[in-house]
Amino acid sequence: MISTSTANPMQATQLFHSFFMNPRYSMIMKRILFITAVMVIAGSAVARAAELRTKGPDREMQKTADICGAETAANKYAKPPERELRKRLSPIQYKVTQENGTEQAFHNEYWNNKKEGIYVDVVSGEPLFSSRDKYDSGTGWPSFLKPLTHENVVEKTDRSFFVTRTEVRSRSSNSHLGHVFDDGPPPTGRRYCMNSAALRFIPKEDLEKEGYGEYLKLFTR
């Protein structure tokens, strides 16, 4: 007896052919084998079609969800028009973020800031760094062990001023933030040396009000 749960179409076809061509078997047996083989082949085809119907929509739905999620994040932290940037940013903020400038060491807003909270892109509001990863590097600029969310920053090779460095920019607004160096303390060994003018600090007590409530958990451990 052929098991329809274990036989595949090729096996069933070969078995059917060997029996059908053997003159020792009666016509009734041949008919039984023929019907069984057809049922196995048809059952396998139906099962495969059902599997494709099930997986196809899932993949399309996941693809659509990924696209929508990326578009939502991009829209949420979209870069404002140039005219609005000119009005909203101070001269040093505009110079740093839009013209790849560098502010003066030890004479900037956050180099010595010790409050708890997060730092976001001054242009778009995109979350960038946490005070929990901030440390005193002695350079006069705010320095961090790592980004708050790696997906929100972009690292690029910078060969300006006749030296090769790694520039750090925000992903959504493409703001120049600063540079990253491999001379930081453990555990990352990296120093994200940022310009205060490229950042806006949000104290932990204002995170919920400012729409960053999801990051409160960083300061409640």
- Domain ranges across the chain: 9-74, 82-219
In this prediction the pTM is 0.67
- Rounded-to-integer distance, Cα 188 and Cα 73, Å: 27
Q: Please compute the mean of the pLDDT values over residues 178-204 and round it to a whole number.
A: 97
Condensed to tens digits (0 to 9), the pLDDT of residues 165-186 reads: 999 999 999 999 999 999 999 9
In this prediction, residue 5 carries a pLDDT of: 47
Identify the active-site residue in 41, 193, 202, 207. 193
**Mean pLDDT across the chain:** 82
Q: Please compute the mean of the pLDDT values over residues 132-151 and round it to a whole number.
A: 97
Higher pLDDT, 83 or 38: 83
Tell me which residue of 211, 2, 59 sits closest to 127, measured CA to CA. 211
Tell me which residue of 187, 207, 186, 201 sits closest to 219, measured CA to CA. 207
At 97, the pLDDT band (50, 70, 90 cuts) reads: very high
What is 82-219's CATH number? 2.170.150.20
Is-catalytic flag, 68? Answer: no
Alpha helix positions (H), 81-210:
82-88, 91-99, 207-210
- Rounded-to-integer distance, Cα 105 and Cα 99, Å: 18
At 29, the pLDDT band (50, 70, 90 cuts) reads: low
